[in-house]
Structure 1
């Protein structure tokens, strides 16, 4: 299972702004440069985050994007849902894309319960995780999803 690039990059852009503190702001080009993304891609992500209420923008030569709320108040779960939506929600079966108007398994769906369990697990794992938790640079180890990881392993892929 993967998060979308929109979720990953959007969260990374938001973290760049959060690192600056309550008064800090960054322009689209500054975020793009630091994250190695194109300016149009960052502009799209920032638009989604602005509409979601996570950032505010200011125009002008000293303008840019800043956090709409303190990083202590921003839940990672809310950011990910804004950027990509929930894995499962009450309208899950309404989005059926088959040839029939209603999914043939609407009454006794074996897959729906899997999505419900996965969404519940994701919600529990992200419960209470704030943007500020992801920025805690003082720890040598970081706890994500109830598992303590050495900081060096975060973000590194298993290359075996």
Structure 2
């Protein structure tokens, strides 16, 4: 399992826009320069984030991107799923059955149970993180995220009905 470049850079762009104090927004060329990415790639990621409702483009010559929602209302789990999808989706077995039409392990698969539990744990953690939580400096964000890893926070509110979302 890996975090894709699209997820990493998309989240970085969203965070950069959230940290911007420019009322007209931050332009694609400016995002490209500060993040060290090509203009084309920033355009692609910005478009994905705009279509998903996280960014709003301001019109005009000095226009750019601003958050479409308050940072506290932007759920990191949902952003990552928009940018790249879940680590393990419930459709995985149908999409990758191997050489057969149906997976040979579709009835009894202990590995699927492992992936489902990993996805559940990741979802439970990331559902508790907003973009606002990441705006602060690294140490403050680290402290917050460590508190979320407290065993009392994980595996409490979710049910097994929502193992894969």
TM-score computed with the length of structure 2 as normaliser: 0.80
What is the correspondence of 1:77-116 to structure 2 with a 5 Å cutoff?
A: 77-96=77-96, 98-116=98-116
Q: 1:15 to 1:140 in 2, by over 3 A?
A: closer
Q: Pick which of 22-31 and 10-19 moved more.
A: 22-31
Residue 154 (structure 1) aligns with: none
RMSD of aligned C-alpha atoms?
Answer: 2.3
Q: Separation in 1 of the partners of 2:60 and 2:97?
A: 44
Residue 32 (structure 1) aligns with: 32
Specify the SS of the correspondent of 2:144.
strand
Q: Which runs of 5+ in 2 are unaligned?
A: 150-165
Deviations 1:57-77 (A, max 9, x none): 234312111111010110111
Q: 1:4 to 1:93 in 2, by over 3 A?
A: same
Q: Separation in 2 of the partners of 1:5 and 1:23?
A: 28
Q: Which has the higher helix share?
A: 2
TM-score computed with the length of structure 1 as normaliser: 0.82
Residue 158 (structure 1) aligns with: none
Residue 7 (structure 1) aligns with: 7
